[in-house]
Structure 1
Amino acid sequence: MENAKSTNTTKMLVLSALFTAIVAVCAQVSIPIGPVPFTLQVLAIFLASLILPPKYAFLSLLVYDLLGAVGVPVFAGFTGGLSKFAGPTGGYLMAFPIAAFVTSYINAKKPIKNEAANASVALISGLAIIYVFGFLYLSWAAHMTLKKAFAAGVLPFIIPDIIKLAIAYLIARAVKSRKVLNIA
């Protein structure tokens, strides 16, 4: 029994590392459109959140942030360093682990019995966390009004992010239904 628990922990740590890498790769699909670039990070973050248990989803994104903080070029545009946390996108980066945990937690607890509705609530809650942290911090870091920060850091992303959430849900559902990763 102890060996099975150890094997599962090892598996979850490996999957967490894999999702850290997936987020880093998706961050490089980046289109600068203002102070906040368009990336595929949200897709990868929420894919991790729907597949990993809450503490491992959090860990995956925390490691991503820590790698970037120490200078590994995992952030958009192959950048890294603590300065990214002080810049306009710092709030989004800080929100990633929290959003991953909350999304995974809600999805795992299944407050709504309908799978798609439950995942939708989880995903939208996580995205709201990223948006709120992100645009409030953007307002402060870029010396913008809240209205301008919202217009630059949230509005252009709503439709593309909802599409990314739907894609993440469909991929996670396919992975889980095929038991590709053998996650309970």
Structure 2
Amino acid sequence: MENAKSTNTTKMLILSALFAAIVAVCAQISFQIGPVPFTLQVFAIFLASLILPPKYAFLSLLVYDLLGAVGVPVFAGFSGGLSKFIGPTGGYLIAFPIAAFVISYINTKKPLKNEIANSILALILGLAIIYIIGFLYLSWAAHMTLKQAFAAGVLPFIIPDIIKLAIAYLIARAIKSRKALNIA
């Protein structure tokens, strides 16, 4: 019994590290469209959050943030360093582990009876967390009004992020239905 628990913990830690790496790779697919770049990070966060249990989803994004904070170039544009957390995109980086935990927690606890509705609720709340913390911090860091920060840090991303949300849901569902990772 203890060996099975240890094996599962090891597997979850490996998957957490794998998803941290996937987020780092997706961050490099980026286009600068203002103070906040368009990346595929959110897609990878959605995917990790739908596949990993809450504490491992959080851990995965915390590891990603910590790697970037110590200077490993995992953030958009192959950048890293503590300065990213005090710059315009710092709020988004701070929000990532929180959103990952919330998405995974809601998806795991299933407060709604319908699986699709439950996942959509989880993903939308997670995205709202990223947007709210991100644009409020953007407003402060870039000396913008809330309206300007919303226009620069949320508005251009809504439709692409909803598409990422849907694709991540479909991929996570396919992975789980095949029990490819033998989790949840």
TM-based fold match above 0.5: yes
TM-score normalized with structure 2 length: 1.00
Deviations 1:165-184 (CA, angstroms, capped at 9, x unpaired)? 00000000000000110102
Secondary structure (helix, strand or coil) at the match of 2:34 reads: coil
1:42 equivalent to 2:42? Answer yes
Secondary structure (helix, strand or coil) at the match of 1:182 reads: coil
TM-score normalized with structure 1 length: 1.00
Superposed displacement of residue 27, structure 1 = 0.1
Partner of 1:56: 56
Structure 2 CA distance, aligned partners of 1:11 and 1:49?
16
Secondary structure (helix, strand or coil) at the match of 1:48 reads: helix
Partner of 1:93: 93
| Runs of 4+ displaced beyond 3 Å | none
Deviations 1:79-107 (CA, angstroms, capped at 9, x unpaired)? 00000000000000000000000000000
Partner of 1:132: 132
Deviations 1:105-128 (CA, angstroms, capped at 9, x unpaired)? 000000011111000000000000
Structure 2 CA distance, aligned partners of 1:180 and 1:117?
23
Partner of 2:15: 15
Structure 2 CA distance, aligned partners of 1:167 and 1:25?
17
Superposed displacement of residue 37, structure 1 = 0.2
Partner of 2:147: 147
Secondary structure (helix, strand or coil) at the match of 1:116 reads: helix
Superposed displacement of residue 56, structure 1 = 0.1
Partner letter of residue 151 of structure 1? Answer: A
Partner letter of residue 2 of structure 1? Answer: E
Deviations 1:120-166 (CA, angstroms, capped at 9, x unpaired)? 00000000000000000000000000000000000000000000000
Partner letter of residue 13 of structure 1? Answer: L
5+ residue gaps in structure 2?
none
Superposed displacement of residue 2, structure 1 = 0.2
RMSD over equivalenced CA pairs, Å: 0.3
1:160 equivalent to 2:163? Answer no
Aligned residues: 184
Structure 1 CA distance, aligned partners of 2:181 and 2:109?
20
Structure 2 CA distance, aligned partners of 1:113 and 1:178?
22
Partner of 2:81: 81
Partner letter of residue 172 of structure 2? Answer: A
Structure 2 CA distance, aligned partners of 1:31 and 1:123?
23
